């Protein structure tokens, strides 16, 4: 075990101060690579060496992988025994653990299922269908993100109507049934004993609000709370942390406003900016030395982020070597981009002898990975992809997991629908619909109906009723076994019993073989999971434990074989917090990065922050690539290099000759290869980025309400006539999101034009 002195010797003066200050709340705001995560890690080790019991420390990270990493570091510093009992994980995994322990209090059982995004969407689809609504207007994806937004802002289905006064005008125009759908969705989830991802945070808040004794219990258990990547927390997360730390005030958070990249998921940068007002006695620490990257990379990242107006000024420097300049790779086509990047990787691998695990290819969207995969495969370069269609989302794996879910929680209607006729049992779509209808009419789960079709007067013939009963009994007897067997034994038994094995053995097609291998891999994974838990001192590892772990994986957690030498491919969002010697940022083109969906300066600044995150992942070398033409939806489009390239200090980047030319010229509108194709959305490069539509008070509503305004405005629409207690009647000219809150510019006639935050303005919408 390390001495306190030796521990602190591994930190610079500023880091040391932040680590040893533990008398009250503290906040570290600092740029990328300056050791924020290291401060948290060392602070925990410091607390442990000072006698805190590990089980009294709660540390919240952004991914499970980051938690594992931090735990490993702490174990290296202070010994495995001390690190073992730390409460460390993502918000979702930590609070789902609490919710399982307290589930009965809020009307669930401890075996509740966690619905993933596709389960939720499927529930919403059937609600929209059942309510006979037009799914072109009531798009399940849109409804889903609105529900998520509401939950992350702690607006429940039942309180939605009350809060909706402000949100109502656009909803009333376009999706007036939204609150009914939300309520039905909440009801369906509850009936299925299921929570979705956002529910983890919502219900944790409800639990703490409604059961003060539970809150007190956790408050006294956690003597210290630490949060990494605080700039990307949302309101629901912020309130949980605030509640837990309210009494003892021993809380340490770290973050970087320049790396806030999750506002589309409800993250609110105000949480970090207003930490001081939430915790008035808090102490602010700044770190300035970057230990990750070469001087050139740090300077390039600094020059880029300077272009953002909204930011806290920071002085970040590196004392590492100067390093090489950023290399730009210009390709004619997206296929060539893949080829050139793979070639560069191979060259570096042979020249510099860097292992493949030192390389990362980072992109804006998952869909970009394909060209690189092909090019890497051609050169036999091993790689792993995070995110996208992960292992656990493959059909055969989802099928097996659905059985697991149903057996531990028979009310899980999504799981039931998935397994009732797989492998085929002669229970058709019509029968399943009848079961669903009956469940709805009788307000019971599907499971109850198939357990007694006669009682529920299910309109099916005798043989069909018998098939339902057989299925019910098979699942029931497995759920009895579940009490006795551990996760692995049970999983093996299930796969044998329900007929998946035979289904796969019958057919020797190549795809079936690989599906069989995947299932085998799943079983191996469960086996390892059980062993690991046993090693950690747990007994009785049931399938629920395994399921709750896999259902809370994030984009960074998909691959378990971490030690092998593979190149990493992931989105920039998933790369947050990570570092690699060699980083390739690819697809650096207008309409791709920044994304073509950007419609305000604020959104553009978030894209720039995303680029800043990408650049600052690199330790030694950073490459940026773009293609001059790219296939999109089966069409070849000509592209323009991203405007962000010219944000980087030109002395630090090797631009090819044709780039300067392209940027001196006025950017052209998007050219289209096939002249017969319909006109394309205008390129973002044809002029300055439009800020929010500004309209005169007389503008028509149709003109005023663009999709973007509607989606993110969360309420008042441009062109609305509104009433304010003090300023009287006015017309909304513009809407803008400011630090997560909506700001409206309103023309109040004689009382002038005012910028008001909707949150406080208490506007009444007149028309
Ligand atoms: N005092 C130090 N001595 C040696 N190495 C350090 C020191 N401080 C930080 N580092 C190293 O610098 C790298 C970046 O640190 P860390 O990941 O903690 O930065 P961060 O501020 O959390 O970055 P990000 O904003 O990207 O999350 C790590 O490899 C870390 O081990
Ligand atoms: Mg970090």
SS (H, E, C) 350-380: HHHCCCHHHEEEEECCHHHHHHHHHHHHHCC
The per-residue pLDDT for range 614-626, each reduced to its tens digit, is 999 999 999 999 9
Atom 5 (ligand 1) nearest CA? 291
Q: Is 568 labelled as part of a ligand binding site?
A: no
Task: Decide if 18 is inside a domain.
Answer: yes
Q: How far is Cα 492 from Cα 95, in angstroms, rounded to an integer? A: 29
- 149 and 70 in a single domain? The answer is no
Whether the predicted pLDDT of 708 surpasses 90: no
21 assigned to some structural domain:
yes
Do 13 and 147 fall into the same domain? no
In a domain, 296, yes or no: no
31 and 88: one domain?
yes
Ligand 1: residue of 73, 229, 292, 577 to mutate (most ligand atoms within 8 A of CB) is: 292
**Whether 426 and 519 share a structural domain:** yes
pLDDT at 132 over 70: yes
For residue 628, the SS3 value is coil
Q: Is position 228 annotated as part of the catalytic site?
A: yes
- pLDDT value at 338 more than 60: yes
- What integer pLDDT is reported at residue 661 of this predicted model? 53
What SS3 state is found at 111? coil
Instruction: Give the whole-angstrom CA distance, residue 490 versus residue 484.
Output: 9
C-alpha of residue 619 to centroid of ligand 2, in Å: 14
Which of 263-272, 291-300, 445-454, 715-724 has the lowest average pLDDT?
715-724
pLDDT at 697 > cutoff 70: no
Ligand 2 centre to CA of 9 (Å) is 20
pLDDT computed for residue 266 by the predictor: 81
Model pLDDT, residue 344? 96
Q: Both tokens of residue 693?
A: 């539509």
- Say if residue 175's pLDDT is above 50: yes
Strands 653-654 and 635-638: unpaired
**Contact (CB, 8 A) for 170 and 715:** yes
Burial of residue 481 (number of CB atoms within 10 Å: 0-12, 13-18, 19+): middle
Average pLDDT for 229-251: 93
Does 664 score more than 70 pLDDT?
Answer: no
For residue 667, being part of any structural domain is answered with no
Indicate the residue among 509, 528, 552 that finishes a domain: 552
Same domain, 126 and 66: no
State the angle between helix axes of 140-152 and 178-191 in degrees (0 to 180), rounded to the nearest 10: 80
What is the tens place of the pLDDT at every residue in 513-561? 778 888 888 888 898 888 888 887 787 788 888 988 888 876 666 555 5
**No. of H helices and E strands in the chain?**
33, 24
Residue 608: give the domain boundaries: 317-385+565-661
Weakest-pLDDT range from 49-58, 257-266, 344-353, 390-399: 390-399
User: Is the pLDDT confidence value at 127 over 70?
Assistant: yes
Q: Is residue 463 part of a domain?
A: yes
**Domain end position, chosen among 552, 575, 606:** 552
> Rounded to whole angstroms, how far apart are CA atoms 507 and 664?
61
**ipTM beyond cut 0.85:** yes
Pocket test for ligand 1, best of 37, 45, 320, 613 (most atoms within 8 A of CB): 37
Question: Pairing relation of β-strands 87-90 and 57-61?
Answer: parallel
For the CA of 11, the nearest ligand: 1
Tell me what the mean pLDDT of segment 647-662 comes to. Answer: 76
Expressed in angstroms and rounded, the spacing between residue 320 Cα and the centre of ligand 1 is 13
Confidence band (pLDDT; 50, 70, 90) for 476? Answer: very high
**Catalytic status, residue 617:** yes
Domain annotation covers residue 187: yes
Residue 486 phi, psi dihedral angles, 5° rounding: -85, 175
Nearest 5°: phi and psi at 571? -75, 160
37 annotated to bind ligand: yes
CA distances from 365 to 6, 208, 326, 573 (A): 43, 37, 22, 9
- Does the annotation mark 36 as catalytic? yes
Question: What are the tens digits of pLDDT across the range 343-386?
Answer: 999 999 999 999 999 999 999 998 898 899 999 999 999 998 88
Grade residue 149 by pLDDT with cuts at 50, 70 and 90: confident
Number of C-beta neighbours around residue 354 at 10 A = 17
Residue 498 within any structural domain of the chain: yes
Number of CB atoms found within 10 A of residue 430's CB: 11
Res 562: pLDDT: 53
Distance CA 222, CA 245 (A): 8
Higher pLDDT, 477 or 392: 477
Q: Which of these is catalytic: 41, 188, 237, 259? A: 259
The per-residue pLDDT for 712 is: 29
Ligand nearest to the backbone CA of 314:
1
Give the CATH number, domain containing residue 490.
Answer: 1.10.486.10
Whole-number average pLDDT of the chain: 85
83 and 133 share a domain?
no
Q: Which one from 15, 37, 237, 616 is the annotated catalytic residue? A: 37
Residue 167's CATH number: 1.10.10
pLDDT at position 691 = 27
Number of domains in the chain: 5
* 597-612 confidence digits (pLDDT tens): 888 898 999 999 999 9
Summarised one tens digit per residue, pLDDT across range 723-738 is: 888 888 888 777 776 6
pLDDT for 663 equals 55
- Shared domain for 409 and 485, answered yes or no, is yes
Q: Are residues 98 and 126 in the same domain?
A: no
pLDDT at residue 362 in the model: 97
pLDDT above 90 (res 310): no
* Closest to 250 measured CA to CA, from 273, 284, 271, 219: 219
Protein residue with its CA nearest to atom 14 in ligand 1: 33
CB distance 716 to 732 below 8 Å: yes
Q: Is 600 annotated as a binding residue?
A: no
Residues 229, 399, 545, 590: which is the catalytic one?
Answer: 229
Torsion of CA 379, 382, 386, 392, to 10 degrees: 110
Distance between CA atoms of residues 233 and 261, nearest Å? 10
Q: Is the pLDDT of residue 387 over 50?
A: yes
User: CATH code at 620?
Assistant: 3.40.50.300
- 637/596 Cα distance (integer angstroms): 14
Both tokens of residue 89?
A: 């994980």
Give the model's confidence band at 684: pLDDT under 50 very low, under 70 low, under 90 confident, else very high: very low
Q: Kindly list the protein residues whose Cβ atom lies closer than 6 A to any atom of ligand 1.
A: 10-12, 15, 30, 32-38, 256, 259, 291-292, 577, 579, 616
Residues 281 and 257: beta-carbon distance below 8 Å: no
- Would residue 229 show up in a list of annotated catalytic residues for this protein? yes
CA–CA separation, 716 and 692 (whole Å): 14
| Same domain (yes/no): 412, 525 | yes
User: pLDDT confidence of 645, banded at 50, 70, 90?
Assistant: very high
Same-domain check for residues 443 and 530? yes
Last-in-domain residue among 622, 644, 661: 661
Among the atoms of ligand 1, which is closest to the Cα of residue 289?
8
Average confidence (pLDDT) over 616-641: 91
Model confidence band, residue 87 (pLDDT cutoffs 50, 70, 90):
very high
Q: Is residue 677 part of a domain?
A: no
- In the DSSP assignment, the letter for residue 108 is -
CA–CA separation, 304 and 559 (whole Å): 32
For residue 631, what pLDDT is reported?
A: 84
Burial status of residue 384 (CB atoms within 10 A of its CB: 0-12, 13-18, 19 or more): middle
Q: Is the pLDDT of residue 164 over 80?
A: no
Same domain, yes or no: 85 and 53 = yes
- The candidate with the shortest Cα–Cα distance to 252, out of 61, 43, 481, is 43
- Residue 267, SS3? strand
The pLDDT > 90 percentage for the chain reads 57
Q: What is the pLDDT of residues 245-277, one digit of tens each?
A: 999 999 999 999 999 999 887 888 888 888 888
Distance 754 CA to ligand 1 centre (A): 44
- Is the bond preceding 53 in cis, omega lying within 30 degrees of 0? no
Q: pLDDT grade, residue 479 (50/70/90)?
A: very high
Same domain, 589 and 524: no
Instruction: Map 446-492 to HEC letters.
Output: HHHHHHCCCCCCCCCCHHHHHHHHHHHHHHHHHHHHCCCCCHHHHHH
Q: Is 33 annotated as a binding residue?
A: yes
Report whether pLDDT(222) > 90. Answer: yes
Q: State how far the alpha carbon of 472 is from the alpha carbons of 108, 337, 455, 463, 543, in Å.
A: 22, 54, 15, 14, 19
Contacts 24+ apart (CB under 8 A), 77-80: 77/2, 77/7, 77/41, 77/42, 77/45, 78/1, 78/2, 78/45, 78/48, 78/49, 79/1
Q: Model confidence at 658, in pLDDT bands (50, 70, 90)?
A: low
Three-state SS at 428:
coil
Give 142's contacts (C-beta < 8 A, 6+ positions apart): 175, 711
Among all bound ligands, the one having the nearest atom to the CA of 290 is: 1
């Amino acid at each position: 075990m390390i001495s306190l002195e030796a521990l602190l010797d591994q930190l610079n003066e500023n880091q040391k101060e932040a680590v040893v200050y533990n008398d009250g709340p503290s906040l570290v705001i600092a740029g990328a690579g300056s050791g924020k995560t290291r401060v948290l890690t060392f602070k925990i080790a410091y607390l442990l060496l000072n006698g805190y019991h590990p089980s009294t420390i709660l540390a919240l990270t952004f991914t499970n992988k980051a938690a594992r990493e931090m735990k490993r570091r702490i174990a290296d510093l202070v010994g495995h025994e001390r690190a073992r009992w730390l409460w460390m994980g993502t918000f979702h995994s930590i609070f789902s653990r609490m919710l399982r322990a307290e589930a009965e209090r809020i009307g669930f059982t401890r075996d509740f299922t966690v619905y993933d995004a596709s389960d939720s969407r499927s529930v919403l689809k059937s609600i929209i269908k059942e309510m006979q609504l037009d799914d072109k207007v009531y798009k399940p994806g849109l409804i889903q993100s609105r529900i998520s937004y509401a939950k992350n802002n702690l607006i429940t289905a039942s309180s939605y109507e009350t809060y909706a006064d402000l949100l109502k005008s656009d909803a009333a125009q376009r999706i007036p049934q939204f609150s009914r759908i939300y309520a039905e969705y909440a009801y369906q989830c509850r009936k299925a004993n299921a929570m979705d991802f956002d529910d983890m945070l919502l219900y944790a808040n409800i639990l703490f609000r409604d059961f003060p004794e539970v809150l007190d219990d956790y408050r006294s258990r956690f003597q210290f709370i630490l949060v990494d990547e605080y700039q990307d927390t949302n309101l629901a997360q912020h309130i949980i942390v605030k509640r837990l730390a309210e009494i003892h005030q021993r809380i340490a958070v770290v973050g970087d406003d320049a790396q806030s990249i999750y506002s589309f998921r409800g993250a609110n940068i105000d949480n970090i900016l207003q930490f001081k007002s939430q915790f008035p006695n808090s102490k602010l620490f700044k770190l300035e030395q970057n230990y990750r990257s070469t001087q050139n990379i740090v300077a390039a990242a600094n020059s880029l982020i300077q272009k953002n107006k909204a930011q806290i000024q920071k002085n970040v420097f590196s004392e590492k070597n100067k390093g090489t300049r950023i290399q730009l790779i210009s390709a004619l086509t997206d296929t060539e981009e893949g080829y050139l990047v793979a070639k560069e990787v191979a060259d570096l691998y042979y020249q510099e002898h860097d292992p493949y695990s030192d390389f990362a290819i980072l992109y804006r969207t998952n869909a970009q990975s394909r060209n690189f995969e092909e090019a890497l495969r051609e050169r036999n370069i091993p790689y792993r992809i995070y995110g996208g269609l992960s292992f656990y989302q493959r059909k055969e794996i989802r099928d097996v997991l659905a059985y697991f879910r149903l057996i531990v929680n028979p009310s899980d209607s999504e799981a039931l629908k998935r397994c009732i006729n797989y492998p085929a049992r002669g229970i058709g779509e019509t029968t399943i619909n009848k079961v669903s209808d009956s469940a709805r009419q009788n307000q019971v789960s599907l499971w109850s109906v198939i357990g007694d079709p006669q009682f529920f007067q299910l309109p099916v013939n005798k043989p069909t009723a018998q098939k339902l009963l057989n299925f019910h009994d098979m699942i029931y007897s497995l759920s009895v076994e579940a009490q006795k067997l551990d996760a692995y034994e049970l999983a093996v038994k299930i796969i044998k019993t329900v007929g998946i094995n035979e289904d796969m053995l019958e057919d020797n097609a190549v795809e079936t073989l690989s599906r069989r291998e995947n299932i085998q891999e799943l079983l191996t994974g469960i086996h390892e999971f059980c062993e690991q838990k046993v090693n950690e001192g747990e007994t009785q590892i049931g399938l629920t434990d395994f399921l709750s772990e896999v259902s809370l994986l994030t984009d960074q957690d998909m691959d378990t074989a971490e030690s092998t030498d593979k190149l990493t491919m992931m989105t920039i969002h998933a790369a947050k917090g990570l570092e690699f010697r060699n980083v390739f940022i690819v697809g650096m083109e207008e309409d791709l990065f920044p994304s073509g969906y950007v419609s305000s300066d604020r959104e553009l600044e978030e894209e720039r922050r995303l680029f800043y995150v990408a650049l600052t992942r690199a330790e030694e070398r950073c490459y940026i690539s773009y293609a001059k033409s790219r296939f999109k939806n089966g069409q070849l489009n000509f592209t323009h290099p991203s405007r962000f390239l010219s944000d980087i200090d030109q002395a630090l980047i090797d631009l090819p000759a044709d780039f300067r030319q392209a940027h001196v010229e006025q950017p052209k509108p998007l050219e289209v290869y096939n002249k017969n194709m319909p006109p394309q959305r205008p390129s973002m490069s044809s002029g300055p980025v439009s800020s929010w539509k500004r309209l005169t008070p007389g503008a028509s509503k149709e003109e005023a309400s663009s999709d973007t305004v509607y989606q993110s405005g969360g309420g008042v629409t441009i062109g609305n006539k509104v009433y304010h207690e003090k300023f009287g009647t006015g017309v909304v000219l513009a809407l803008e999101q400011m630090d997560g809150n909506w700001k409206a510019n309103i023309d109040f006639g004689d009382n002038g034009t005012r910028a008001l935050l909707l949150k406080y303005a208490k506007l009444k919408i007149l028309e």
